Structure 1
Amino acid sequence: MLRIKALTAAALVMVTAACAEDTAEPQRATPSFAKPPITVGFLNPNGGPVPQPGTDTGVKAALKYVNTELGGINGHPLEVVYCDTDTTPEKAQSCANTFVEKKVVAVMDGYNLSSSATLPALTAAQIPLVGMIPFDSVTGAKAENRVFFAAPQASFLVGALQAFKTAGKTSVTLALVDTPSSHQTIDNLLPVLAKTLGITAKGIYFSPTNPNFTAVASTIAQDKPDVGGLVASPSEAVCTALVKALRQLQYKGDIFTAACTDYIKAGPAQAAGGALYSSNWLPVAAKYVPAELQRELSLATKYIDGVEGGTGGYYAVGEFALLVNFAKAMSSAAETDLTGPGVLKTLKGLKDFPSFLGPRLNCGSATSPNCTTQILLYVVQPDGSAKPVTDTWITPVPQVLAAIPGAV
C-alpha cells in the first residue's frame, strides 16, 4: 500500500539513511508538495565482499531530479527508505521485512546478488521488486511480482559474444567473482552460448575476498584468446587491476571490462581497444549519444556530479535511470493505482515506453521480468571515449535467449 503521511505547510521529503533507523534528518524538496509522499524501498548493495559503489549516488541524484524538476509523481514527492545489503540472503530478508513494515509501494533493486531472498516477503505483501538488471539469476528467472527495465544478464553475455563473433573473434576467456550465482553463468550458461554461437569460450573464477589479479590475468593470457576479461564487474577497482595486469603481461587481445569505465579515465591509452557493455548510454560515450538523448545524459551527469561525496560511473547512471523511469511511468497512473498492486499493474502494462537513456520498453512478459533484451557494446577509443560497435541497439539472438529461463 501507498505510505501516506500528514504534511506540514512546507512538505518534507524524508530520506531514511538506514533501514534500522526509525527517523532521519528530513531532506527538503523544492518546490513544496501539497500531496503526501510515495515511498519506495532501496536495496543498497554497499556492503559485503562484492559492493556496487555508485548505486546510492544514483538514487540520491535521481531523487533530487524527480522532486525538483519533474514535480514528483503526479504532485506526490518521492521518498526513499534505504537498507544496506551485503550479498547475504539473511541481510536481504531483513531489508524486505523492514520495507513491509514501512509499507513502501515498491522496492528498488541496486544490482543485488541476493535479491531473490526478498521475494517471499515482498510478494506476500504485494510489494513489487523493480530494478534495471537482475544480478541474482534466481530473481531473473521468473516474472512474478518483479519488473526490470534493462536486459537480463544473459543478454549482455549473448550480445557481447555475438558482436565479437561478427568481428571475427572466435575465442574468449572471461573471469567472474566466485559466488553461487556466478556458477550459474560460468558452469551452465557460457558453454551453451559458446556452442550455439560457434566460438571457444572459457570461464574462470576469482575470490571475492582475496583476489589475485596477476594470477587471473596470467590464466587469461596463457591461452592467447581473441577476447579476455570479465563477465561482470564487481567494482571499478577490479577492472583497473585486471587491465593493468593484462597489459603488463603484454596481452594483445581485446580486453573486455563488462560495465567498468573508471579505468578509462585513469589511463586512456592503456584502455584503448577495450570493450564494455551497458543497458543505457553512459557519459564516457557522450560524443556518440543520439541528439534526442543528449539532454538526458547532461541531466544525469549534472545531478550525479552534484551528490556530495558521491561515486559516479555505470551503477550511478543505471540507478538514476531506474528511479526516473519509475517516476515517469507512475506519473501516468491513476491515484487509485499508487499502491503496490497498482505499481505492478502500471509497470507491467508499459508498451513502447521511452526509457531514460535506454531503448523503448515493452514490459509484461509472462516469462521474463525484463522489459527489453537490447544492449549497447562499446569499444574504447584512443581519446578515451567509448564508441558503440553498432549504429543501433544490439538485440541478442532470440533463439539463444529462449533457452535461458527468464531471458524472454
Structure 2
Amino acid sequence: MRRSPTVPLAATVIAATLLAGCSSSSTPTPQGASPTFSKPPITVGFLNPSGGPVPQPGTDTGVKAALSYINGELGGINGHPLEVVPCDTDTTPERAQSCANTFVEKKVVAVMDGYNLSSSAALPALTAAQIPLVGMIPFDSVTGAKAENRVFFAAPQASFLIGALQAFKAEGKKSVTLALVDTPSSHQTIDNLLPVLAKTLGISAKGIYFSATSPNFTAVASSIVQDNPDVGGLVASPSEAVCSALVKALRQLQYQGEIFTAACTDYIKSSPAQAAGGALYSSTWLPAAAKYAPADAQAELTLAQKYISAVNGGTAGYYAYGEFALFVTFAKALAAAGDADLTGPGVLKTLKALKDFPSFLGPKITCGSATSPNCTTQMLLFVVQPDGTAKPTTGTWITPVPQVLAVIPGAV
C-alpha cells in the first residue's frame, strides 16, 4: 500500500509539525500536541539515532507515523495527546548524556530508545530523575544487562544470538563467523557474549569487527570466506547499506554458506536473487513476512504500513516498523491502565505490571522481570525466499532455551 491514510485533520497537523523538526539537532521542544485535546499532554523524550557514524535510519519515520496514528486514529492516550521531545544522538556517550539532561529539563515522563548503541550513558541522569527508559531491543548491551528504571518490549541481544544459533544448529550448521561494528558495546557482545553462547550451545563461533567510519566490506567478506563457516554475516547491522555491501561482497567472493544479515530488510528488495537463502532475525513481524503472519499481525502490518508510507521523505524499514511498534505498545499499555499515574515512577510501574499483554506486531509480553529489562525472550528468524518474501524458519516465535539464557547476565 502506497497511499495516504484517511485520518482526522488533527493527525495531519501533527505529522506536518513533526516533519518540520523531529530530527533537528538544536535544543528540542515538544512535538505532536494538538489544540483539539482537552487533557494535558503526555510528554516523552526520544533518543533519535538517525545521525552520527552508526545511524539507524527510519526510527524517526516510525515515530512520526506512530504519533499520527496515536493522536489521530486512537484519540491520544485516554484523551491525552502524546508529545515527543526528540534529541539527536551520534553513538557517543557524551551526546547521550546531553540528551538525558535535556529530557530531565523538559520533565518528560519516559524516554524512548531508538536502538542506540550508547543509551547506558543516559541512564544515570534519567534514573536520578525517576524517568524510565523504554525501548525495543537494547542495542547497548550494558543497558540490557540490568532492569533498574528501564523496560524493553523486545528480547535482549542474547535472545537473538541464542535463537539464531539454536536454529542454525538444528539445521546442522556447525560454525559461524559474524561481524559487528567496532564500538564499546560491540566488544561486550563479541568478546564476552558470543564465546559463552558458542560453548554452551556446542557450536563454533567467531566474531570480527569493522570500522564505524571507514568500513571495508571486501575485507570483512574475505575474512569470513577464509574461515569458510557454515554461516557468515552480521551480529547486528548499523544500516541497510552495510547489509547490501556485505552480501554483495560475499556473493562476489562466491561464499557458499548461509548469509545472516541480522535485522536488515531493504537489501532484499534491491537484489532478491542475492538475498535468497539468507537469514535475518526480528523482534516483530515484518512486511516481507506478511503472507506467513497470523491474521492479527497481518492487520497490524497493514495499519503500520499505511502510516509509515504517509511520512513524506521517510525511510521505511526494520527500524521504522520497530519504533512504530514501540510507541503504539507504549500508548496502548498506558491506555489500558485507565487512570494510571502519569509521572515517571507511575509510567514505570504501569509498564512493569504488564502481563500477557499483546504487543504491537510482537508476542504477548510480561514485563515484571527483576533481572533484565526485557519483557520477552522470543524472537523470529526468517529465511529469504526466491520471491523476496521472508518465511519464519519455525512458522512462529522462537523461544531461546532457558538454560542457555540463564548463563548470560541480564538475559532472563
CA contact (8 A) 1:19 1:98 kept: no
| Structure-2 separation of matches of 1:123 and 1:171 | 41
For 2:86, the equivalent position in structure 1 comes to 82
CA contact (8 A) 1:40 1:79 kept: yes
Give the alignment's TM-score, normalised by structure 2: 0.93
| Counterpart secondary structure, 2:280 | strand
For 1:201, the equivalent position in structure 2 comes to 205
For 1:7, the equivalent position in structure 2 comes to none
AA matched with 2:26:
A
**Match status 1:311 vs 2:332:** no
The equivalent position to 1:100 in structure 2, one of 101, 104, 126, is 104
For 1:329, the equivalent position in structure 2 comes to 333
The equivalent position to 2:289 in structure 1, one of 271, 285, 289, is 285
For 1:217, the equivalent position in structure 2 comes to 221
AA matched with 2:303:
L
| Structure-2 separation of matches of 1:332 and 1:292 | 19
For 1:62, the equivalent position in structure 2 comes to 66
| Structure-1 separation of matches of 2:124 and 2:159 | 26
Deviations along 1:226-263, whole A, 9 cap, x unmatched? Answer: 10000001100000000000000111110000000111
The equivalent position to 2:27 in structure 1, one of 18, 21, 32, is 21
Deviations along 1:299-357, whole A, 9 cap, x unmatched? Answer: 11111111000001110000000000000000023435111111000000000000001
The equivalent position to 2:370 in structure 1, one of 366, 369, 382, is 366
| Structure-1 separation of matches of 2:408 and 2:226 | 31
RMSD of aligned C-alpha atoms? 1.7
User: What is the 5 A alignment of 1:26-41?
Assistant: 29=34, 32-41=36-45
User: What is the 5 A alignment of 1:167-206?
Assistant: 167-206=171-210
CA contact (8 A) 1:19 1:81 kept: no
CA contact (8 A) 2:379 2:398 kept: yes
Choose 196-205 or 276-285, whichever is displaced more. 196-205
Structure 1 residue 22: Cα displacement: 5.9
CA contact (8 A) 2:182 2:212 kept: yes
| Structure-1 separation of matches of 2:411 and 2:28 | 38
Question: Displaced runs of 4+ in structure 1, greater than 4 A?
Answer: 10-16, 26-29
Structure 1 residue 48: Cα displacement: 1.6
| Structure-2 separation of matches of 1:310 and 1:86 | 19
Give the alignment's TM-score, normalised by structure 1: 0.94
Q: Which runs of 5+ in 2 are unaligned?
A: 1-9
| Structure-1 separation of matches of 2:331 and 2:106 | 20
Count of residue pairs brought into register by the alignment: 397
User: What is the 5 A alignment of 1:102-121?
Assistant: 102-121=106-125
Structure 1 residue 372: Cα displacement: 0.1
For 1:296, the equivalent position in structure 2 comes to 300
CA contact (8 A) 2:159 2:411 kept: yes
Structure 1 residue 292: Cα displacement: 2.0
| Structure-1 separation of matches of 2:75 and 2:237 | 35
| Counterpart secondary structure, 2:336 | coil
Q: Which runs of 5+ in 1 are unaligned?
A: 1-9
Taking structure 1 as reference, are residues 167 and 23 closer, same or farther at Cα in structure 2, changes over 3 Å only?
A: closer
For 1:380, the equivalent position in structure 2 comes to 384
For 2:5, the equivalent position in structure 1 comes to none
For 1:4, the equivalent position in structure 2 comes to none
For 1:262, the equivalent position in structure 2 comes to 266
CA contact (8 A) 1:19 1:95 kept: no
| Structure-2 separation of matches of 1:296 and 1:336 | 26
For 2:278, the equivalent position in structure 1 comes to 274
**Match status 1:71 vs 2:75:** yes
**Match status 1:249 vs 2:253:** yes
| Structure-2 separation of matches of 1:289 and 1:282 | 9
CA contact (8 A) 2:33 2:81 kept: no
